[in-house]
Amino acid sequence: MKAIEFTSKTDEDGRLRIDRKLDKKNENVRVLILIDETQDDIEHDDVWLENMVKSPSLKFLDDPVEDIYTLEDGEPFHG
């Protein structure tokens, strides 16, 4: 497997703009993004939650058959 590393910047809306030509056309590619965690201005929890809500991998939870628990199940947690 071949790895390609390059730097880029986000625009004023926080969108990543990649200006990198690949030798592949009309093929699936995998993109890995590493964020510098030393930056204090990144809201990690907000980014994580936003992506989880939008993730198609959790779409099955919209199915009513997945609603197997109620508020009466278990015991309250007071932390």
Per-residue model confidence as pLDDT tens digits over 35-72: 666 655 556 677 777 777 787 888 888 889 988 888 88
- Written as one string, the DSSP assignment of 1-67 is --------EE-TTS-EE-----S--S----------TT-TT--HHHHHHHHHHH-GGGGGGGSGGG-
- Regarding pTM above 0.85, the answer is no
Place of tokens 């278990």: 74
Residue 42 has what pLDDT? 54
Query: Is 71 domain-assigned?
Result: no
Residue type, 62: D
Query: Is 70 domain-assigned?
Result: no
Region 2-25: mean pLDDT is 80
Query: Is 53 domain-assigned?
Result: yes
Residue 59 has what pLDDT? 83
Region 21-30: mean pLDDT is 82
Please state the domain count of the chain: 1
Domain limits for position 25: 9-64
Query: Is 39 domain-assigned?
Result: yes
Residue 46 has what pLDDT? 76
Query: Is 20 domain-assigned?
Result: yes
Query: Is 73 domain-assigned?
Result: no
